[in-house]
Amino acid sequence: MASEKVQARIEQAPTAQAAQASRPQSQQGAEPADKEASQEQPQSPTPQPGAWARFSAWFAKTFPHSRHAVIGGVCGLVVALLLFSIGLFKTAVIAVLVIIGVACGQYADGDPKLVNLVRELMKRR
């Protein structure tokens, strides 16, 4: 008994327009216009919103008047988990590095609010 490799190839089915365009000219004009109109399908479905847009809509609907309070609570939970799991010093280092990252991002965007705040604090002393 000989063993043979079987290779399968899956191809996408052609759309109605692609099938019509691939037919010869003599066959294209043979169908009545009302039959073509009944077989037409929408070109592209309405694009679905991405995961972030769906999450934002859910968040706005679920917490309509307390958005900042919920975000602050989640941030507090993350800080508490970090403090208990990795300790105070490592959590402080992470916080400082995040602030430096935000400052670098603001500077790259052309809106250096944190850099200006640090400059003002240094001038006062």
Cβ(88)–Cβ(76) below 8 Å: no
The rounded distance, in Å, linking the Cα atoms of 15 and 2 is 40
- Residue reference for tokens 């968040």: 59
pTM of the model: 0.49
The rounded distance, in Å, linking the Cα atoms of 105 and 112 is 8
> What's the pLDDT tens digit per position in 45-86?
777 788 989 988 898 899 888 888 988 899 999 999 999 999
Cβ(112)–Cβ(106) below 8 Å: yes
pLDDT at 91: 94
Query: Span 10-31, mean pLDDT?
Result: 60
Q: For 8, phi and psi rounded to 5 degrees?
A: -115, 145
Which two structure tokens, joined as six digits, stand for 66?
């307390």
